[in-house]
Every structure is written in C-alpha cells, then in structure tokens.
Amino acid sequence: MDGAAVRGREKLACDVAVVGSGPAGASAARVLARAGARVIVFEEGPFARFRDFPSDGFTAMAKFYRDMGASVLMGNAPMPFLQGRAVGGGSVINGAISWRLPRDVYDEWVLNDPAIGDAIPWDEIDAATDEIEKDLNVLPTDDAVAGPNNLLMAKGAEALGLEHRRISRYTRGCRGLGRCLQGCPEGNRLSMDLTYLADACAHGARVLSSVEVGGILVRDGRAAGIVGRASGGGTVTCEAGRAVVLAASAVQTPVLLMKNGLRHGPVGLGFQGHPGTSMIGWFGDPVRVWTGATQGHEVTGMRKEGLKFEALGYDIAVAAARLKSAGRAFAEEIRALDHWAAWGACVRAKGRGRVGAGFGRASVRFSLLPEDVFRLRRGVRVLGEMMLAAGAEFVTPGVHGWHDKVAQRAVMARFEEEGPLDPRAYTMVLTHMFGTCRMGADPSKGVVRPDFRHHAVDGLYVADSSVFPTNTGVNPQTSIMALATICGRRIAAGTGQ
C-alpha cells in the first residue's frame, strides 16, 4: 500500500506495528510474520523499483536519501550524516558490506552490563548471523567484478604488510556496476525490499510506504498503536494488539519517543558513530572509481585500534566534488577524473553526542574527542602511505592546512605527528549510528531492557541500533539484523508480556 494514495482517514488493525522498514524493521517483521503475527510495517520513504534507480548521484540522493543527503550533525566538526529513506531503509543505497558483530565488542557490552549476556547469549547472535549470511548470500567480492579501485587497495595493503581481505557483501550476480550508493539498477544487491520484507509479505505482513509515523498510542501504560501522516495528505491510525516496534534508526527512533513525551532513561543521549574520511590518489592507469564492485576491499588489521579502511566507489559527481581545486584548475582535474582512486578510513570514535527533537525534527550534536582526532590522523597517514605503496603518483589528503599533494611515503608518514588537531580541518561523513536508546537492566542507564522492551511502556520495543550500548567499529547492517531478529523472536515468544 502506498501512502501517496491515502487522502482521508485510514484505520487499520494488526498484532504488531513496525515503524521503519530498514534492516532492523525488516528483520523483526519477518520473524514475527513467520511466527503467525499480523504485522504492518510503516515506512516514511517511497517504494523504489530497482529498475528505476537513477544512474546519477544527485537524483538518487534527492529521491532515496533523507534530506537529500544533507543532514548535518553539529559539534566540533560539523559533518553530514547519511541515511536512506525508502522501503528497505539504508539497505537500498548502502555499500552492501556485511560484518558479523565482533566478539570483543559484545564482550565489552556484557562486561558493562552482565544482564545483556543473559538476555542475548552470544551463541544466539552467532546462529542468527549464520542464517542472515546464508539468506543474503554473503560472499567475498569476486575479483572479476572488483575493478581497479579495490584491487589496488589489496596491492597497497600487501606492500605495507597490513591484514586485508575482499569485502563480504550481500549480493547475487553482482556485475560490478559501481552503483550501489544510487541503488542497484539490476537488483543484484540483496537489500531488504527484495529479501526480508518480501519474505515477511509472503507470510502475511503488509508494508505501507510514504507514511511517516508521528504518534505512538499509549493506553494504561501500554503501547496500543501508532498514528501516521501519509504523503497523500491523509492520516493513518493503526491499533496494534500486541506490540509496537520502533526501527526508525538511531536518529529517528529517539526523536519519535521524545515527540511522544516518552523521555525515560537516557533517550537521545549516548549517540555514537563512525566518522569516515577519504584519501584520493592519482594513478597512471585509469581507475574509474565509479565502476567495479562499489566497495570490494578492506584493511582489517587495525580494527582493534579503532580503524578500518575500505575502498570507496561512488558516482562520478561525488568523485569530482572530492577534488581539492576550484575554477579552471577544477575543470582541468576533472578531465583526468578516471585516474583517481578513492579509499576511506572509518574511525570507531569514542566521543558521544545526543539527538534532540527541536520543532519535531532530529538535531544531532556530536564532537570528536582528542583521542579520536589522533586516531583520525593515524588513519589518514596509513591511507596515504598505502595508496603511494600501491603505485599512486601522488595523493591528496584533503586536510586543510597540510600539503595538497604528497608524492613520498616519508612525507605522508609525518602526518601522524604533523596533521592538524582541529577536527574541522578534515572532511568527514558519518554513515553508522548507534546508542541513542541504549539497552540496559538499570532504567536510569537504559531506555530499553536487554530484551528490547521499553523500561516504562509495556508492549513497546526498540529494534534498531539505538539499542547498541556502543558503536561496533565495523559496518553495522548485519549486526543490526541479528539483534532485530532476536528482538522479533522475543516478541513472538511473548517475553515479558
């Protein structure tokens, strides 16, 4: 059903109303539908048919990214944070990278709150992840479709002796079209709309696109349904007999709670993310970052230091915008755009921020700590050295106040000492978000219990990465799906009801 067609008042009823159709909402909805519950998933964004995905980045961002990709978080280094807004959420426009939740991250969570270990045993996460990997055909990127940008990273990492590997991605029949971030035009990336949501619908669930949920109905201390605004101008009210599941993302879920006066516990606080910065380098042979598997190679050897490196494929317009120059020099550099490679460093930042709900909209504040900036400097250094070792004639760190172009590894190595400490000197983007409705046994420290139930409102659950006690240092989609699957199981089993 499409909210664009809803002009009047629509009244619905179900057992479980799920808000948000991204990896979290889709995973929870699927388990519940398979368990026989009548499920309705509400999604603010439109339904996108994969053949309609545009080839250019601008149109894709306009149609399938929240705020056209221009949501900005404020703090000591204002930066955009990107989120998908479509049926399937971020899975429709993301890099398809799959990472299991690292055991050491889980152990940190349990050390801080042993109740999490009791409520969500590691073996259950592990087994749920096995199933997800099987369902989504998660496999290392095939060299035949990798393309130069990925293969060069392997070469650079090898030269520096860094542990690296082909990225495992959820694709089937990927032809390396390099358009994952605009939406795969052939449906080769196994996003939620094509997989878990389709499966949930096959088991009786319904998905309502273009309906923005604004109200959570609470009666006698129990979540009883939702109220939404359809893009067609109408309103949708849905009574939910058993549960309301919030899976609107780590930014929108706390906003929804706050808008409804549900300010219990540290709601909105504890925001964490993985700020990412990029390095570009010029190679003698064409690289064409807009072709090949969008993100097909990664360096994993420094993960425990809070750094992860990935090859970055993106639309040619984004590749151009990353160049340092302006005016005629910019036009000149664009002529040779196919010779630039682009790789990114993703930082497991220790800084914590907050999500607010001023004027009913999300506002995010987040600042890097000094130790995060040190980590960032190390990341930029390693990226530059690795690219030069892979054969780049020169690299462009894109850091204000430092060299525009670097051709020698020895100079790049100095960045770790010399690089600016002002985070605003770096160009960063954030795509992974966590921690704004943390789980915890103590209601003063957690918004939901370790079994995903809200501390103050019965029948209300949070299934997305808001509940993660910390960031994970790795790409989160698969961990989000594993935890949301477990959340769905707990609701199906009637735990705590």
Partner 1 sequence: MLLLLSAIFVITLVSVLGYSMVGWAPFEMRWRDALLGAMLPGDGDRPGFDDIDLREFWAIYDTHAPPLVRIGLRAATWFLTFLPLFVSGCRKPFFRLDADRRDRFLRAASSSRFYLVRQLMMTVKTFAAFGYFSNGVVRGLFGIPSGTPGPTTWSNG
Ligand X SMILES: Cc1cc2nc3c(=O)[nH]c(=O)nc-3n(C[C@H](O)[C@H](O)[C@H](O)COP(=O)(O)OP(=O)(O)OC[C@H]3O[C@@H](n4cnc5c(N)ncnc54)[C@H](O)[C@@H]3O)c2cc1C
Place of tokens 């542990």: 163
Candidates 171, 209, 260, 475; binder of ligand SF4 (CB under 6 A) is: 171
Beta carbon nearer to ligand X, 94 or 300: 94
CB-based contacts of 40, cutoff 8 Å, min separation 6? 12, 14, 16, 17, 18, 205, 206, 207, 208, 238
Tell me the site size for partner 1, rule CB under 8 A: 54
- Which residue among 297, 339, 432, 454 is the active-site one? 432
Shortest Å distance, C-beta 136 to ligand SF4: 12
- Residue 327 binding partner 1, by CB under 8 A: yes
User: In degrees rounded to 5, what are phi and psi of residue 302?
Assistant: -115, 20
- Residue 248 binding ligand SF4, by CB under 6 A: no
Beta carbon nearer to ligand X, 212 or 315: 212
The token pair that represents 247 in the structure block: 């899976």
Question: Taking CB under 6 A as the rule, which mask of x and - marks residues 273-312 in contact with ligand X?
Answer: ----------------------x-----------------
Catalytic residue status for 432: yes
Interface positions, 150-189, toward ligand X (CB under 6 A):
181
Shortest Å distance, C-beta 466 to partner 1: 23
Residue 472 contact among partner 1, ligand SF4, ligand X, none, beta carbon within 5 to 8 Å by kind: none
- Residue 93 binding ligand X, by CB under 6 A: yes
- Residue 177 binding partner 1, by CB under 8 A: yes
Beta carbon nearer to ligand SF4, 178 or 469: 178
In angstroms, rounded to a whole number, what is the distance separating the alpha carbons of residues 37 and 78?
A: 43
Residue 57 contact among ligand SF4, partner 1, ligand X, none, beta carbon within 5 to 8 Å by kind: partner 1
CA angle 396, 399, 400 (to 5 degrees): 120
Shortest Å distance, C-beta 68 to partner 1: 5
Residue 168 contact among partner 1, ligand X, ligand SF4, none, beta carbon within 5 to 8 Å by kind: none
Shortest Å distance, C-beta 346 to partner 1: 21
Candidates 168, 427, 475, 485; binder of ligand X (CB under 6 A) is: 475
Beta carbon nearer to partner 1, 179 or 377: 179
- The torsion defined by the Cα of 235, 239, 243 and 248, in degrees rounded to 10, comes to 0
Residue 143 contact among ligand SF4, partner 1, ligand X, none, beta carbon within 5 to 8 Å by kind: partner 1
- Residue 329 binding partner 1, by CB under 8 A: yes
Residue number, nearest CB to ligand X: 22
Question: Taking CB under 6 A as the rule, which mask of x and - marks residues 37-76 in contact with ligand X?
Answer: -----xxxx-------------------------------
- Residue 316 binding partner 1, by CB under 8 A: yes
CA angle 214, 219, 225 (to 5 degrees): 40
In angstroms, rounded to a whole number, what is the distance separating the alpha carbons of residues 32 and 115?
A: 24
Are 437 and 462 in contact by the 8 Å Cβ rule? The answer is: yes
Candidates 256, 387, 390, 406; binder of ligand X (CB under 6 A) is: 256
- Residue 84 binding ligand X, by CB under 6 A: yes
Beta carbon nearer to ligand X, 179 or 432: 432
Beta carbon nearer to ligand X, 27 or 396: 27
Beta carbon nearer to partner 1, 419 or 488: 419
CB-based contacts of 252, cutoff 8 Å, min separation 6? 20, 362
- Residue 55 binding partner 1, by CB under 8 A: yes
Interface positions, 407-446, toward ligand X (CB under 6 A):
431-432
Question: Taking CB under 6 A as the rule, which mask of x and - marks residues 188-217 in contact with ligand SF4?
Answer: xx----------------------------
- Residue 97 binding partner 1, by CB under 8 A: no
Beta carbon nearer to partner 1, 53 or 468: 53
The residue type at 188: N
- Residue 175 binding ligand SF4, by CB under 6 A: yes
Candidates 124, 126, 135, 143; binder of partner 1 (CB under 8 A) is: 143
Interface positions, 427-456, toward partner 1 (CB under 8 A):
427
- Residue 21 binding ligand X, by CB under 6 A: yes
Q: Would you tell me which residues interact with ligand SF4 (CB under 6 A)?
A: 96, 171, 174-180, 184, 186, 188-189, 293-294
Catalytic residues: 432
